Structure 1
């Protein structure tokens, strides 16, 4: 096959790859929008009555329902909701009276900061720890270190975020008094929420990276590099690390999505002013527009992360993209 033909085939494969991923993203977003709309409308109770309170007159409740379009048929409400999404109108919060887009704009930065900082900590901890224990325990060496690493990572990975958050609050906030346990005021207030979100994913990533690194260390190209007496740093950074990251990138993207979702519980433990604490209060108040907006943000965020993972994997191994085409 000539160079020109190979280049053309590669370009076509990338185009097909991009088209498939974009189509999958659009279908997933539509399913997400529809599911969020239907689920929130299946919650029993009257959202208008919940928002106005038990003392509101029936006339006021009826007028509010008509103004919000809740008396329309369900299909009409769905069409109006889709039309609003396309025009950037997410509706008005029933409890605060503020536009949903404004509430999302106020709360989203806090959630993104928490999730991205936790993900960065998880990656910065897991990559060197996974590589280190792979090198230390390769070939069955240092069995106690391997057992200790495995046991610790399993325990940390098994603890739910909210339970870990409560434990951190009790130890470092209540007993020791070293760190604040509520709010988002200053760098110290980030420490406990970030740790609560990051520890379990860091343990999972470190285990996966150790296993992948052990497999790469047994590969022929690594043996060849060692036979050439290349420096250890060169072998690990140029030959081992890049080939160990494929599975870690895939899992890391999935963990980032789960960490974004995990902010819901962690934010409520630490009274963090983000979307997680907002969605809980919105569900209790049956605030349809706000709940739908927050669910949409969380869902689209996870879908975009999955798309970025697919692109990253394709860039790390372009041959897989050509094979898919």
Structure 2
């Protein structure tokens, strides 16, 4: 039996359906952006409710219980906190849409000024730490995978897994304290705090990157083992290609997808988890200002900086999804099917 050729009407209808559906990648991107916007709205709403409902009177908390009631009331009127809650919420959203992150409840200083002055230091510390993680973890994971592929060198595998599991479980701030004790106090080899030259980056970067490097190295090893067992690697070996070409030209690029997925997600959380590390090293980033605002109960700054942290995490995760969708279009087609 011969197949019937599609009629011109059927061809036109199919073309119109494809046109209405649009590009799968574009629909994937729109879906991801929409999810990020919804998540940000939920975070903004939760922050608003926590500040104005769960925390009681934020102005009284910021000025203290001994502050004169007239001063507290005047401050509440100045900040618009005496108006109905729904009006405050609408004003708050309107301000955010225009780039206004709020003000300090104590000094009246704009949160935008704080972010502008401290965000570069935070992003710089996180960016350098992330680069160190990739430069260390990926080669280590690949090297250990080469040593242990095919079930060989069981002792190396057990030792690697045990050491990386232990290191990955140590909190960043505790690593920071230990590094200060050893390299700053005992050995006097590195500065203990501040941002005063290349040497001042060593300890905070190490505190942020050591545990994450251990985690990424384990993931890189697992991905490398899976890649080294693929058919195209065996084909390359059968052609007697040099080992360096097999590992770095064929295996390395294909093992990076899952590694970069976890690593990219870790970059966003690294910015947030760096809050305590910045405090330990008195780093002039947002983390130090965030902790100081919490200590002084300046919830206006706390709320604004928390939203910036949330936005960074969401943007980084969105960028990771977009990059991976470009590298692997199969994922995009599956999610938009």
1:61 aligns with 2:62: no
1:240 aligns with: 251
2:105 aligns with: 94
CA-CA distance at 1:69 after TM superposition = 1.3
Match of 1:184 among 186, 195, 219: 195
In 2, are the aligned partners of 1:46 and 1:286 still within 8 Å (CA)? no
1:29 aligns with: 40
- So what's the TM-score if we normalise by structure 1? 0.93
Mapped partners of 2:34, 2:58: distance in 1 = 35
Cα deviations across residues 32-70 of structure 1 (Å, max 9, x unaligned)? 111121122345454334544565422122111111112
Further displaced range: 216-225 or 93-102? 93-102
> Structure 1's 259 and 227: CA in aligned 2 closer, same or farther, altered over 3 A?
same
* 3-state DSSP of counterpart to 2:284: coil
The alignment yields a C-alpha RMSD, in angstroms, of 2.1
- Matched residues, number: 321
Mapped partners of 2:54, 2:210: distance in 1 = 34
Which one has the largest radius of gyration? 2
Q: Which runs of 5+ in 2 are unaligned?
A: 1-14
Cα deviations across residues 154-187 of structure 1 (Å, max 9, x unaligned)? 1110101111111111111111111111111111
Mapped partners of 1:23, 1:46: distance in 2 = 34
> Structure 1's 57 and 9: CA in aligned 2 closer, same or farther, altered over 3 A?
closer
In 2, are the aligned partners of 1:180 and 1:189 still within 8 Å (CA)? yes
1:161 aligns with 2:164: no
1:282 aligns with 2:293: yes
1:224 aligns with: 235
CA-CA distance at 1:10 after TM superposition = 11
Mapped partners of 2:220, 2:101: distance in 1 = 42
Further displaced range: 40-49 or 121-130? 40-49
In 2, are the aligned partners of 1:279 and 1:291 still within 8 Å (CA)? yes
1:292 aligns with: 303
1:105 aligns with 2:140: no
In 1, are the aligned partners of 2:136 and 2:213 still within 8 Å (CA)? yes
Mapped partners of 2:60, 2:197: distance in 1 = 39
Mapped partners of 1:212, 1:8: distance in 2 = 38
Match of 2:82 among 62, 71, 85: 71
1:252 aligns with 2:282: no
1:145 aligns with 2:156: yes
2:320 aligns with: 309
In 1, are the aligned partners of 2:193 and 2:281 still within 8 Å (CA)? yes
1:194 aligns with: 205
Match of 1:80 among 78, 91, 95: 91
* 3-state DSSP of counterpart to 2:139: helix
1:16 aligns with 2:16: no
* 3-state DSSP of counterpart to 2:196: coil
1:48 aligns with: 59
> Structure 1's 8 and 313: CA in aligned 2 closer, same or farther, altered over 3 A?
farther
In 1, are the aligned partners of 2:51 and 2:58 still within 8 Å (CA)? no
1:133 aligns with: 144
Further displaced range: 277-286 or 241-250? 277-286
CA-CA distance at 1:18 after TM superposition = 1.2
Further displaced range: 275-284 or 296-305? 275-284
- So what's the TM-score if we normalise by structure 2? 0.89
Mapped partners of 1:131, 1:246: distance in 2 = 14
In 1, are the aligned partners of 2:52 and 2:58 still within 8 Å (CA)? no
